[in-house]
């Protein structure tokens, strides 16, 4: 019984590590200028360059998104304005982009 329980625990740990590593591979980032913020709809659009090409990235902001602004301890999406320079990190799912972090640049 102990061996079976140990096997299950080991399997769960390995599965969690694999899932985390897969998420880390899917994270992309871009530094650019904020061209749109929708605090009510929880979205942000940033224009910048990715792999040398001009891009506009529109991402959904979730409660898990880390927002860091200089001089602001508890920053939120409503503190970000059009024209701000930020570094946006996001993950891509099948249908959407989700911001993992937004940091003032």
SS3 content of the chain, % helix, strand, coil (to 5): 25, 50, 25
* Residue range 49-82, pLDDT digits in tens: 988 999 999 999 999 999 999 988 889 999 999 9
For residue 42, the 8-state DSSP code is: T
Task: Give me the pLDDT at residue 25, please.
Answer: 60
82 in Cβ contact with 37 (< 8 Å): yes
DSSP letters, 47-68, are EEEETTEEEEEEEEEEEEEEEE
- Which value, in Å, is the radius of gyration of the alpha carbons in the chain? 18
The pLDDT of residue 13 is above 60: no
Q: What domains appear along the chain, each with residue ranges and CATH number?
A: 29-104 (2.40.50.320)
Task: Give me the pLDDT at residue 24, please.
Answer: 57
Q: What is the pTM of this model?
A: 0.75
The pLDDT of residue 48 is above 90: yes
Quote the CA–CA distance of 11 and 23 in Å, as a whole number: 18
Query: How far is residue 96 from each of residues 2, 8, 61, 65, measured CA to CA in Å?
Result: 43, 33, 11, 15
């Amino acid at each position: 019984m102990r061996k079976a329980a140990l096997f299950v625990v080991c399997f769960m740990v390995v599965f969690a590590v694999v899932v985390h590593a897969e998420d880390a591979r899917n994270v992309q980032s871009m530094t650019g200028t904020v061209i749109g913020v929708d605090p009510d709809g929880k979205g942000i659009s940033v224009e910048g360059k990715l792999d040398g090409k001009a891009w506009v990235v529109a991402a959904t902001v979730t409660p898990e998104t880390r927002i860091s602004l200089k001089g602001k301890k508890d920053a939120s999406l409503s503190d970000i304005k059009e024209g701000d320079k930020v570094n946006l990190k996001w993950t891509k799912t099948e249908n959407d982009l989700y911001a993992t972090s937004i940091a003032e640049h």
